[in-house]
Amino acid sequence: MRLPIKPVYLPMEAVQVDEIPRGEQWQYEPKWDGFRCLVFRDGDSVELQSKSGQPMARYFPELVEAVRALDPEQFVLDSEIVIPEGSGISFDNLLMRIHPAASRIRKLAAETPAMLIVFDILVDANGTLVAGQTLTERRKVLEKFATQHLKGEKSIRLSPMTTDFNVAKRWFGTVGSTLDGIVAKRVDVSYRSGERTGMRKVKRIESVDCVVGGFRYATGKRLAGSLLLGLYDEDGLLHHVGFTSGIKASERVALTAKLEGYVEPPGFTGRAPGGPSRWSTERSTEWVPLAPRLVVEVSYDHFTGGRFRHGTRLLRWRPDKNPRQCTMEQVERPQSRSLLLLDKAS
């Protein structure tokens, strides 16, 4: 590539904070729930690079073609890859794209095509480096790029932004589960590859009561390492939905003894903890079933595909809670309308 910057070029990242920062120096954007992606175009050569620097073009051939079809032959964009589902987006469908079989990827690309939501520009439509300019200046360049080259393009869209704190609060308070939160960016800062300077992210954190349907011993020890969490469905089946491992070292001995007093198969009467995968070892798939008597409250950021996407944080034990009250209804959310925000970027 003849571009001023080339892969691997790490994106600028954000520091997570608890509250949306306020002040004239901040610009606000939705935090999309997808894969971060730097887009490099130089003639027919198109590269899609992940946040960690890995190539992703083979997983999203439809996006490669969409980028190649744009008029400018040289540019670099910062974006998020998402897969639309109704007026929201589906992270589960996105995960399915990371597949070794090209035939499977082509099939999914036709059935559930992906979208690029663009929020920054590093090299403009003339092939000129603009990463050194302030965010205010880069946004003007990006909006000009979108106006001239993205009009009518359904698979590459401009992400909205606002400098109004109240609008940012409204986005954060009303979006559904497919929007990850809000990103605040300093308007006077240049694009700083690989740094966490000048950007803040605020994610939606919620809590839920779960049945402890089992546990795993810590590797190499006879002490509890993680609790396996369950929720009841409408048919009364207890499904494994994730885990939490935030057990204080000072409490492990007493907790292990307590858990061992509740050992009773099957633990989960619905979906049980999975078997070995490419990320797990034989040891990590071993677990001990418990009678459904214990309840904990945990915090989480995403519940999708019937489970917590990431590990949860243990908040407290709930001896006052009836395990049968720990139902899937706690994590059910109305269909997100997050993609409708894109219409405001026009």
Q: Which residues contact 58 (CB under 8 A, 6 or more apart)?
A: 102, 105
Question: Could you tell me if 21 and 155 are in contact, meaning their C-beta atoms sit under 8 angstroms apart?
Answer: no
Lowest pLDDT segment from 27-31, 145-149, 240-244, 310-314: 310-314
Closest CA to 35 of 95, 76, 75: 95
Token reading at 41: 């175009």
CATH of 206-330, one of 3.40.350.10, 2.40.50.140, 3.40.50.300, 2.10.260.10: 2.40.50.140
Count how many Cα atoms sit within 13 Å of the Cα of residue 345 in the half-sphere of its side chain: 29
Q: How does pLDDT run across 190-233, given as a tens digit for each residue?
A: 999 999 989 999 987 889 999 999 999 998 889 999 999 999 99
Question: Could you tell me if 88 and 336 are in contact, meaning their C-beta atoms sit under 8 angstroms apart?
Answer: yes
**What is the pLDDT, as a whole number, of residue 305?**
84
Distance of CA 94 to the CA centre of its chain: 10
Question: Could you tell me if 40 and 86 are in contact, meaning their C-beta atoms sit under 8 angstroms apart?
Answer: no
Closest CA to 30 of 158, 193, 146: 158
Q: Domain residues of the chain, as ranges?
A: 15-202, 206-330
Question: Could you tell me if 138 and 191 are in contact, meaning their C-beta atoms sit under 8 angstroms apart?
Answer: yes
Q: Which residues of 5-15 are buried (b: 16+ CB within 10 A; e: fewer)?
A: eebebbbbbbe
Q: How does pLDDT run across 74-127, given as a tens digit for each residue?
A: 999 999 999 999 888 888 899 999 999 999 999 999 999 999 999 999 999 999
**What is the pLDDT, as a whole number, of residue 345?**
62
Q: How does pLDDT run across 259-318, given as a tens digit for each residue?
A: 999 999 999 999 999 743 333 344 445 899 999 999 999 999 888 889 998 889 999 999
**What is the pLDDT, as a whole number, of residue 180?**
80
Token reading at 312: 């949860």
Q: How does pLDDT run across 40-79, given as a tens digit for each residue?
A: 999 999 999 999 999 999 999 999 999 999 999 999 999 9
The answer on pLDDT for 321 being more than 60 is yes
**What is the pLDDT, as a whole number, of residue 150?**
96
Q: Percent of the chain scored above 70 by pLDDT?
A: 93
Number of neighbours of residue 297 by Cβ within 10 angstroms: 17
Token reading at 261: 């007093």
Q: How does pLDDT run across 161-196, given as a tens digit for each residue?
A: 999 999 999 888 765 556 788 999 999 999 999 999
Token reading at 26: 């901040």
Q: Which amino acid, 153?
A: E
- Residue-wise DSSP of 239-287: EEEEEE----GGGHHHHHHHHHTTB-S-S-SSSPPP---TT--TGGG--
Mean pLDDT in the chain? Answer: 92
**What is the pLDDT, as a whole number, of residue 279?**
33
Residue 71, classed as helix, strand or coil, is coil
Question: What sign for the dihedral angle of Cα 184, 189, 195, 197?
Answer: negative
Q: The whole model's pTM is what? A: 0.81
**What is the pLDDT, as a whole number, of residue 58?**
97
Active site residues: 31
Query: What is the third-level CATH fold of 15-202?
Result: D-amino Acid Aminotransferase; Chain A, domain 1 (3.30.470)
Q: Do domains 15-202 and 206-330 have the same CATH topology?
A: no
Element (H, E) at 237: none
The residue ranges of DSSP E strands in 5-144, in sequence order, are: 15-16, 26-32, 35-42, 45-50, 74-82, 84-85, 88-89, 115-123
